Amino acid sequence: MDLLGDWWTPLVLREAFYGIKRFDEFQQELGIARNTLADRLRRLVDEGLMEKRSYQQDPVRYDYVLTEMGSDFFGVLAAMNGWGNRWLAGEQGAPVVFHHDRCGHQGEPEVVCGECKEPMTAADTHPRMGPGYPPHLAERPDIRHRFTP
Protein backbone atom coordinates (compact mmCIF):
# COMPACT_ATOMS: atom_id res chain seq x y z
CA MET A 1 0.00 0.00 0.00
CA ASP A 2 2.97 2.31 0.44
CA LEU A 3 3.57 2.06 -3.30
CA LEU A 4 -0.11 2.49 -4.22
CA GLY A 5 -0.99 4.93 -1.45
CA ASP A 6 -2.33 7.56 -3.81
CA TRP A 7 -5.07 7.35 -6.39
CA TRP A 8 -2.90 8.24 -9.40
CA THR A 9 -0.66 5.16 -9.27
CA PRO A 10 -3.39 2.56 -9.99
CA LEU A 11 -4.74 4.85 -12.71
CA VAL A 12 -1.33 5.02 -14.39
CA LEU A 13 -1.15 1.22 -14.25
CA ARG A 14 -4.70 0.93 -15.63
CA GLU A 15 -3.74 3.09 -18.61
CA ALA A 16 -0.67 0.91 -19.18
CA PHE A 17 -3.00 -2.11 -19.41
CA TYR A 18 -5.01 -0.17 -22.01
CA GLY A 19 -1.79 0.09 -24.04
CA ILE A 20 -0.63 3.59 -23.15
CA LYS A 21 3.19 3.79 -23.16
CA ARG A 22 4.29 7.37 -23.64
CA PHE A 23 4.47 10.16 -21.08
CA ASP A 24 2.32 12.57 -23.11
CA GLU A 25 -0.33 9.89 -23.68
CA PHE A 26 -0.56 9.15 -19.94
CA GLN A 27 -0.79 12.88 -19.25
CA GLN A 28 -3.50 13.43 -21.84
CA GLU A 29 -5.62 10.42 -20.85
CA LEU A 30 -5.47 11.08 -17.11
CA GLY A 31 -5.37 14.87 -17.03
CA ILE A 32 -2.63 14.56 -14.42
CA ALA A 33 -0.08 17.29 -13.70
CA ARG A 34 3.23 16.60 -15.46
CA ASN A 35 5.27 16.70 -12.25
CA THR A 36 2.86 14.29 -10.52
CA LEU A 37 2.98 11.91 -13.49
CA ALA A 38 6.77 12.06 -13.63
CA ASP A 39 6.89 11.18 -9.93
CA ARG A 40 4.48 8.24 -10.30
CA LEU A 41 6.26 6.84 -13.34
CA ARG A 42 9.65 7.18 -11.62
CA ARG A 43 8.30 5.34 -8.57
CA LEU A 44 6.77 2.56 -10.70
CA VAL A 45 10.09 2.14 -12.54
CA ASP A 46 12.09 2.20 -9.27
CA GLU A 47 9.78 -0.42 -7.71
CA GLY A 48 9.99 -2.69 -10.77
CA LEU A 49 6.41 -2.50 -12.05
CA MET A 50 7.40 -0.61 -15.20
CA GLU A 51 10.55 -0.11 -17.22
CA LYS A 52 11.71 2.71 -19.45
CA ARG A 53 12.61 1.86 -23.05
CA SER A 54 14.16 4.47 -25.25
CA TYR A 55 12.30 5.03 -28.52
CA GLN A 56 14.02 8.27 -29.61
CA GLN A 57 17.58 9.52 -29.17
CA ASP A 58 17.57 13.26 -29.88
CA PRO A 59 16.03 14.27 -27.56
CA VAL A 60 15.88 11.03 -25.58
CA ARG A 61 12.29 9.89 -25.09
CA TYR A 62 10.96 6.76 -23.44
CA ASP A 63 8.13 4.30 -23.53
CA TYR A 64 6.96 3.12 -20.12
CA VAL A 65 6.04 -0.56 -20.31
CA LEU A 66 4.79 -3.03 -17.75
CA THR A 67 7.28 -5.54 -16.44
CA GLU A 68 6.26 -9.05 -15.38
CA MET A 69 5.72 -7.64 -11.89
CA GLY A 70 3.56 -4.85 -13.30
CA SER A 71 1.57 -7.25 -15.48
CA ASP A 72 0.83 -9.25 -12.36
CA PHE A 73 -1.04 -6.21 -11.02
CA PHE A 74 -3.85 -7.04 -13.46
CA GLY A 75 -5.59 -9.17 -10.83
CA VAL A 76 -5.77 -6.22 -8.45
CA LEU A 77 -7.28 -3.93 -11.08
CA ALA A 78 -9.68 -6.67 -12.22
CA ALA A 79 -10.87 -7.21 -8.65
CA MET A 80 -11.40 -3.46 -8.18
CA ASN A 81 -13.28 -3.33 -11.48
CA GLY A 82 -15.49 -6.24 -10.44
CA TRP A 83 -16.32 -4.56 -7.15
CA GLY A 84 -17.17 -1.32 -8.96
CA ASN A 85 -19.36 -3.17 -11.47
CA ARG A 86 -21.30 -4.80 -8.63
CA TRP A 87 -21.74 -1.81 -6.34
CA LEU A 88 -21.35 1.35 -8.40
CA ALA A 89 -22.68 0.60 -11.91
CA GLY A 90 -25.75 2.49 -13.04
CA GLU A 91 -28.92 1.16 -14.63
CA GLN A 92 -27.20 0.74 -18.01
CA GLY A 93 -24.88 -1.87 -16.51
CA ALA A 94 -21.16 -2.29 -16.03
CA PRO A 95 -19.00 0.35 -17.72
CA VAL A 96 -16.05 -2.03 -18.24
CA VAL A 97 -16.31 -5.79 -18.70
CA PHE A 98 -13.61 -8.37 -19.33
CA HIS A 99 -13.50 -10.64 -22.36
CA HIS A 100 -11.49 -13.79 -21.65
CA ASP A 101 -9.64 -14.54 -24.89
CA ARG A 102 -8.92 -18.19 -24.00
CA CYS A 103 -12.56 -19.26 -23.66
CA GLY A 104 -14.18 -16.47 -25.68
CA HIS A 105 -16.57 -15.44 -22.92
CA GLN A 106 -17.20 -12.29 -21.00
CA GLY A 107 -16.50 -12.96 -17.34
CA GLU A 108 -16.39 -11.41 -13.93
CA PRO A 109 -13.09 -11.49 -12.03
CA GLU A 110 -13.09 -13.82 -9.05
CA VAL A 111 -10.57 -14.58 -6.32
CA VAL A 112 -10.12 -18.33 -6.06
CA CYS A 113 -7.92 -20.60 -3.96
CA GLY A 114 -4.81 -21.68 -5.83
CA GLU A 115 -5.19 -25.20 -4.40
CA CYS A 116 -8.87 -26.15 -4.61
CA LYS A 117 -9.94 -23.47 -7.15
CA GLU A 118 -12.99 -22.59 -5.02
CA PRO A 119 -13.89 -18.91 -4.47
CA MET A 120 -12.25 -17.20 -1.51
CA THR A 121 -14.45 -14.79 0.46
CA ALA A 122 -13.96 -12.67 3.57
CA ALA A 123 -16.24 -15.07 5.45
CA ASP A 124 -14.16 -18.18 4.78
CA THR A 125 -10.63 -16.82 4.38
CA HIS A 126 -8.35 -15.51 7.11
CA PRO A 127 -4.81 -14.13 7.05
CA ARG A 128 -1.95 -15.96 8.73
CA MET A 129 1.64 -14.87 9.28
CA GLY A 130 3.84 -16.10 6.49
CA PRO A 131 7.52 -17.04 6.78
CA GLY A 132 8.59 -13.55 5.70
CA TYR A 133 6.64 -11.66 8.36
CA PRO A 134 9.01 -9.26 10.15
CA PRO A 135 10.09 -10.93 13.45
CA HIS A 136 10.04 -7.67 15.42
CA LEU A 137 6.35 -7.23 14.54
CA ALA A 138 5.44 -10.90 15.00
CA GLU A 139 6.31 -10.65 18.69
CA ARG A 140 3.83 -7.86 19.42
CA PRO A 141 0.68 -9.11 21.23
CA ASP A 142 -1.64 -6.95 19.12
CA ILE A 143 -0.15 -8.37 15.94
CA ARG A 144 -0.25 -11.97 17.19
CA HIS A 145 -3.93 -11.46 18.11
CA ARG A 146 -4.66 -10.29 14.56
CA PHE A 147 -3.42 -13.60 13.16
CA THR A 148 -4.89 -15.93 15.81
CA PRO A 149 -7.38 -18.45 14.40
What pLDDT, on the 0 to 100 scale, is given for residue 108? 87
Model pLDDT for residues 15-52, shown as the tens digit of each residue: 999 999 999 999 999 999 999 999 999 999 999 999 99
Model pLDDT for residues 79-96, shown as the tens digit of each residue: 999 999 999 999 999 999
User: Cα 1 to the chain's mean position, in Å?
Assistant: 10
Q: Of 118, 108, 34, 24, which Cα lies nearest the Cα of 63?
A: 24
Q: Are residues 66 and 12 in the same domain?
A: yes
- What is the pTM assigned to this prediction? 0.85
Domain tally for the chain?
Answer: 2
Tell me the CATH number at 53: 1.10.10.10
Task: Detail the DSSP E strand segments found in 14-132.
Answer: 50-57, 60-66, 98-100, 105-107
Q: How confident is the model at residue 128 (pLDDT cuts 50, 70, 90)?
A: very high
Q: Are residues 26 and 55 in the same domain?
A: yes
Instruction: Give the C-alpha separation, 23 to 102, whole Å.
Output: 31
Instruction: Identify the domain containing residue 16 by its residue range.
Output: 8-71
Helix (H, G, I), strand (E, B) or coil at 70: helix
Q: Are residues 65 and 33 in the same domain?
A: yes
